[in-house]
Amino acid sequence: MNYDNNHTDKKLQELENQLLPDLSKMDEHWKQISLVLEPGSGTATAPKNFFKRRILLALAAVVIVTIVSLLVSGNLQPVDKRHSAETSLPVASRDTLPHKRSLTIPKPDSTHDVILLKARTTDGRDTVLKAIPAGKPAPGNQRLLLEGFYTRLQKKPEAFLINNKRDTTIRGKEGTQLYIPANSFDAKEDVTLLLTEVYSVNDMITQKLTTTSGGRQLVSGGMIYVDARDKKGDLIDLRDGASLRLDMRPPENGAAMELFYGIDYYRDDQTPVMDSINWQRTNQQFSTGNQPRAYAIIKNPVTFNRKDTMVWEDDSPRYTIKYPIGDTVAGKRDAYIKADSVINKRYGVDINRLGWINCDRFYNEPGPRTELIVDLGGNADYWNTFLVFEKYASIMSPSSKTDNTARFSNVKEGEPAKIIVIGVKKGKLVTAMQNVTISRTPVTNLHFEESSAATFTKNLVNK
């Protein structure tokens, strides 16, 4: 007997229904999302606050409607300033403000610091791409106070204005190189690439970047964030099937590293929730060696004007010319760029996505593991706690947070590390840094001090 399409479909659905779900990672997945979920008003107090807010909002609405109707009917007389307190609208307090589940970054205005993203063209002109508010905190909003602190620590990306019709090489200040073949983006005009390089552990901390993949500890050789924007400053994607060649600084110990992409959880306004980054393995290895690695077809006339040089050549007849690193380059006819010795010292991989990219390896050192418990001495909801390893570039966020404690599970005993806590206490931003040796003994008595972005950065360098 043979099954027709309908029978086959039903049989397939039947078989699928027989499959039991894999629940082995449910707790882990819940932990990941629970770190992102902003706690609501709490089980015990939620209904009370909820109704209180509603009553106050209703009262405010009644007053507004009354005033509007008086205005419309023409019955509202000018009010003597001496009596204004009696007729003024209720001032919005924390309780009357609607509870915001997601962070809203304030729009830039004269009262907020603004970071200007600028791009510099190859002929030296500066162009402002976008104004990003530096996140001046609203009074009383603990979450925003914390986010504002991080925004001030945020590294300014380097901006490169490139011609999408040409092959281009860009080089970041810290040594990252990106080879971009022509037409890599779905854009007819110039494209601006924003590149942020994060190679030092201190930068990883200030950028709130942890190094775990599905809960497994990673050791990082460096991370970058790259995105592309059109003329308006809006994000654009790589064209389907396009891939860029990425060279990063090679790790000092020569360890074999792999490519990981950062998977963020995003808020509605597309800003990432950074304390939840999870690195997704691609199984692509970074490669070294002396063979040419970066090839791209070049179709337009050559233009170059810098002293830095690389050698490139076409296939037949062979000829060699020099072209500048960092500028848009092009050839008179189809040709191939050949990476020179400078490039060959680098550590490269092909990428087909933009966003957060990490050059990583799993930390697989043998030895006994334990759970490190950190007593925060206060409610852990508004704390960011990091476990920073001393001997290698690895940073973990807590596997779980309960009441006043943060727990780091499955960490190697005896490793020297640093606990860094950033949080809000009594409306003020406080930080604590404490050196520890990982053991079963809980870490207590953290010393918190009031901090700002500037003092925190200074302390990171000194401690």
Residues near another protein (CB under 8 A) are: 1-5, 7-9, 11-13, 15-16, 18-19, 21-30, 32-34, 36-43, 46-47, 50, 99, 101-102, 213-214, 240-241, 263, 265-266, 268, 278, 280-281, 353, 400, 402
- Residue 47 CB, nearest distance to another protein (Å)? 8
Distances (CA, A) of 158 to 226, 373, 407: 10, 39, 36
Beta carbon nearer to another protein, 237 or 308: 237
Annotate 25-44 with DSSP letters as a single string. Answer: THHHHHHHHHHHSPP-S-TT
Beta carbon nearer to another protein, 11 or 458: 11
Beta carbon nearer to another protein, 288 or 409: 409
CB neighbour class for 313 (10 Å; exposed up to 12, middle 13-18, buried from 19) = middle
Annotate 326-347 with DSSP letters as a single string. Answer: TSB---SSS-B----HHHHTSE
φ, ψ for residue 32, nearest 5 deg: -60, -45
Max distance between CA atoms of the chain, in angstroms, equals: 94
Determine contact, residues 431/451, Cβ cutoff 8 Å.
Answer: yes
Beta carbon nearer to another protein, 41 or 404: 41
What the block records as the tokens of 224 is 């970058």
- Residue 419 CB, nearest distance to another protein (Å)? 22
- Residue 202 CB, nearest distance to another protein (Å)? 28
- Residue 397 CB, nearest distance to another protein (Å)? 15
Beta carbon nearer to another protein, 264 or 313: 264
Beta carbon nearer to another protein, 40 or 140: 40
- Residue 88 CB, nearest distance to another protein (Å)? 31
- Residue 267 CB, nearest distance to another protein (Å)? 9
- Residue 162 CB, nearest distance to another protein (Å)? 23
- Residue 249 CB, nearest distance to another protein (Å)? 27
- What type of residue is 419? I
Distance (Å, whole) CA 22 – CA 82: 70
Distance (Å, whole) CA 448 – CA 385: 13
What the block records as the tokens of 365 is 């050192």
Closest alpha carbon to 254 in 286, 216, 294: 286
Beta carbon nearer to another protein, 199 or 260: 260
- Residue 26 CB, nearest distance to another protein (Å)? 5
Beta carbon nearer to another protein, 3 or 319: 3
Angle (nearest 5°) at CA 195 between 191 and 197: 170
Angle (nearest 5°) at CA 342 between 339 and 344: 55
Distances (CA, A) of 360 to 206, 367, 393: 19, 21, 10
Beta carbon nearer to another protein, 6 or 111: 6
Closest alpha carbon to 386 in 208, 176, 259: 208
Q: E strands of 329-439, at which residues?
A: 347-351, 355-362, 369-375, 383-389, 395-396, 400-402, 405-412, 416-425, 428-437
Beta carbon nearer to another protein, 48 or 458: 48
Closest alpha carbon to 277 in 389, 387, 396: 396
Beta carbon nearer to another protein, 9 or 450: 9
- Residue 48 CB, nearest distance to another protein (Å)? 11
Query: Partners of 170 in the beta sheet?
Result: 178
φ, ψ for residue 273, nearest 5 deg: -90, 100
Determine contact, residues 181/229, Cβ cutoff 8 Å.
Answer: no
- Residue 33 CB, nearest distance to another protein (Å)? 4
